[in-house]
């Protein structure tokens, strides 16, 4: 119980610090406002901006931290650090889930919403205070994540492509079969075929579903 309280106090302190960085509180309020009365979510325009700001800052951090890596490996690291899963975890760590405003409480813990609102907050901070303020907020959280990978994360689609070309002289084929779920929480079903191997997999995005399908084929290959 004590540990939980300490985490809560730390989160509250961070939220207070983050709010104080905003010169215009209305921008922060817009960044955490979900859709209401049938209108589009207040955070969406700021999320559009924040996506680019986060990408630029992470790309610069990687460029400076790994001077000897090629573009391909930097790209793999980049994807890992700006994907919805990572952003959602950071949003939870920062306590942004407790700040989201909207009648549908289930959305407050939705991965895609958390990711988008996290980007919206950072986009709003950039708009209000400039890029240096965003860097100050992001660096303490993103830098340890960035340095936690000694090697670039594995791209399973690339690995399957190399195997397929080597053994069958063909590229894997991916096909979108189905999209289900509401707009804020879609699920995609994809098929992947590489030589004699064929697998189906699901994911919260087409790219993630393709990666999952590639993983399933690679598992079967390794099992044999």
pLDDT band at 100 (very low <50, low <70, confident <90, very high): confident
**The two three-digit tokens of residue 47, written as one number:** 């999320």
Name the residue among 154, 156, 152, 188 with its Cα closest to residue 172: 156
**Across 154-162, average pLDDT:** 85
Q: Which domains occur in the chain, in start order?
A: 2-147 (1.10.1520.10), 156-223 (3.30.160.20)
> Is residue 127 a contact partner of residue 22, using CB atoms and an 8 Å limit?
no
Name the residue among 187, 186, 180 with its Cα closest to residue 212: 187
pLDDT at residue 197, as a whole number: 95
Q: Report the distance separating Cα 119 and Cα 96, nearest Å.
A: 11
pLDDT at residue 143, as a whole number: 94
**Across 38-50, average pLDDT:** 82
**Across 141-156, average pLDDT:** 83
Name the residue among 195, 196, 212, 193 with its Cα closest to residue 204: 212
User: Active-site positions?
Assistant: 51, 119
Q: Kindly list the strands in the beta sheet with 197-203, ordered across the sheet, starting from the edge strand earlier in the chain.
A: 173-180, 187-194, 197-203
SS3 130: coil
Q: For the chain, first and last CA: distance in Å?
A: 48
pLDDT at residue 120, as a whole number: 95
pLDDT band at 39 (very low <50, low <70, confident <90, very high): low
> Is residue 213 a contact partner of residue 188, using CB atoms and an 8 Å limit?
no
At residue 160, does pLDDT exceed 80? Answer: yes
Q: How big is the chain, counted in residues?
A: 224
Q: Report the distance separating Cα 162 and Cα 76, nearest Å.
A: 16
DSSP 177: E
**Across 176-194, average pLDDT:** 90
**Across 134-150, average pLDDT:** 90
Model confidence pTM above 0.85: no
């Amino acid at each position: 119980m004590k540990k939980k309280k300490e985490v809560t106090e730390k989160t509250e302190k961070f939220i207070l610090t983050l709010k104080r960085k905003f010169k215009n509180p209305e921008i922060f309020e817009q960044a955490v406002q979900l859709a209401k009365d049938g209108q589009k979510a207040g955070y969406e325009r700021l999320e559009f901006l924040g996506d680019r700001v986060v990408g630029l800052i992470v790309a610069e951090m990687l460029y400076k931290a790994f001077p000897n890596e090629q573009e391909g490996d930097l790209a793999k690291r980049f994807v890992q650090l700006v994907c919805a899963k990572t952003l959602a975890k950071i949003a939870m760590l920062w306590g942004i889930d407790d700040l989201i405003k909207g009648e549908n409480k289930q959305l407050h813990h939705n991965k895609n919403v958390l990711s988008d609102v996290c980007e919206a907050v950072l986009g709003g901070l950039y708009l209000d205070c400039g890029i240096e303020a965003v860097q100050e907020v992001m660096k303490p959280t993103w830098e340890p994540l960035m340095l936690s990978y000694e090697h670039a994360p594995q791209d399973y689609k690339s690995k399957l492509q190399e195997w397929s070309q080597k053994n069958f002289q063909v590229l894997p084929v991916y096909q979108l079969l189905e999209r289900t779920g509401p707009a804020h929480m879609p699920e995609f079903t994809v098929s992947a075929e590489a030589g004699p191997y064929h697998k189906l997999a699901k994911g919260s995005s087409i790219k993630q579903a393709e990666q999952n399908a590639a993983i399933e084929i690679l598992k079967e290959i390794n099992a044999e």
